[in-house]
Amino acid sequence: MIDDSDEQVWERARRHHPPAFGLIWDRHHARVFRHLVAAGQTAHEAEDLTATVFLELWRRRSAVRFVDGSVLPWLIVTARNVARNSARARRRYRRFLAALPAPEPSPDPAERIAEADDPRIAGLRRELSGLRPAESELLALTALEGFTVREAAAALGISTSAAKMRLSRLRSRLAIAIDPETVPEGRPR
């Protein structure tokens, strides 16, 4: 069966011999895919369209035309038609979406929660949003990821003592942001 022409293999496929359809797929799916990519489709689109071409091959199995015993020319023409239909459908879909009225603005639920927050949380949020990138990374590595200060320092390329000092200062700033009346130990009131 491997040495048979596409036309001979296709006749077996039409008589519901699944390996015959698989052989047609094996022979030509890469060529159809490459043709679609060369015609400007993305690899993802080309994969989907290639599958559609072979679906059309089966759907129109009684109308397939062969050129010198090969089904490839029919597949390439079908690939071009399928690609055009897909592009047309995408354009229609974009026009449809553009014609829809814009959604009415609605309040962000996070803003309502933030408004209801007590001032301590708001102060903490302000302080955290103003962190320098190095401080933010150090805090994320130690507080969120669970790294030790030594591991976090090594990951950031700073000394362990520098990381400890930065975290100490950061703790003090965050404590003041949460409760401005609180002054950390060692600081004058």
Say what the pLDDT of residue 59 is.
94
Determine if residue 133 is left, alpha or beta; phi over 0 gives left, psi from -120 to 50 gives alpha, anything else beta.
alpha
Q: What is the mean pLDDT of the chain?
A: 88
The pair phi, psi for residue 67, each rounded to 5°, is: -120, 115
Show the domains of the chain with their CATH numbers. 6-99 (1.10.1740.10), 109-178 (1.10.10.10)
Q: What is the DSSP string of 58-77?
A: HHTTTS---BTTBSHHHHHH
For the cut 90, the answer to whether the pLDDT of residue 179 exceeds it is: no
pLDDT tens-digit readout, 124-152 = 778 888 888 889 899 889 988 899 999 99
pLDDT tens-digit readout, 65-117 = 999 999 999 999 999 999 999 999 999 999 999 999 988 888 777 766 665 66
The whole-model pTM stands at: 0.54
